């Protein structure tokens, strides 16, 4: 079984904290910048692949069922790319937080979000407690 440090996210090995290390020090900020940039690069490459695929595969099928299938496939790809476009915006705003030295702290209560949580979700802006409360409130409103 592989140990935890062998797993990587977007080609970037997880950050290994050292005992007594200051939270969100320069090394950690560099690590998360690298992780976010790698993730953004992957998303941008996927966008390019989709554009190429749609251009190459676009055909005017005489059969209405074939045409409908292709349109549905393209529609699904475009919805996926739209979600990824929003994610890229979120990655960019997260990179801005790192630049401003405000990354890694909960927007609601100000406590440390934690390196392990940020490894799992690098764009997280809430600590686990505030996120849990947020989700409970959301369920109650629905």
My answer on whether 52 and 87 are in the same domain is: yes
Residue 67, pLDDT score: 77
d(CA 110, CA 125): 10
Provide the H-helix boundaries in 19-105.
26-57, 64-99
CA neighbours closer than 13 Å in the CB half-sphere of residue 135: 7
Question: What does the pLDDT read at residue 111?
Answer: 97
- Based on the structure, what is the number of domains in the chain? 2
Residues 68 and 32 in one domain: yes
Residues 108 and 55 in one domain: no
For position 8, what pLDDT does the model report? 67
pTM of the predicted structure, to 2 decimals: 0.80
Give domain status of residue 46, yes or no: yes
Contact yes or no for 36/89 (Cβ under 8 A): no
Clarify whether residues 95 and 45 are in a common domain. Answer: yes
What's residue 9's pLDDT? 80
Tokens matching residue 107: 């927007």
DSSP summary character for residue 109: T
10-residue mean pLDDT profile of the chain (142 residues): values are 53 92 97 97 88 72 80 85 93 98 97 96 97 95 88
For residue 6, the model assigns a pLDDT of 44
Is residue 139 a part of any domain in this protein?
yes
Beta pairing partners, 44:
none
Neighbours of 97 (CB within 10 A): 17
């Amino acid at each position: 079984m592989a140990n935890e440090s062998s797993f990587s996210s977007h080609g970037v090995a997880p950050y290994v904290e050292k005992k007594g290390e200051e939270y969100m020090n320069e090394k950690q900020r560099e690590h998360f910048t690298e992780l976010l940039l790698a993730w953004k690069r992957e998303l941008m490459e996927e966008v390019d692949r989709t554009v190429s695929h749609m251009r190459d595969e676009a055909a005017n099928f005489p059969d209405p069922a074939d045409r409908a299938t292709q349109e549905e496939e393209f529609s699904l790809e475009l919805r996926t790319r739209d979600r990824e476009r929003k994610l890229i915006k979120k990655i960019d705003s997260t990179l801005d937080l790192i630049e401003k030295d405000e990354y890694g702290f909960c927007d609601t209560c100000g406590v440390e979000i934690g390196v392990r949580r940020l490894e799992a979700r690098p764009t997280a802006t809430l600590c686990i407690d505030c996120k849990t409360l947020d989700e409970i409130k959301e369920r109650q409103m629905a």
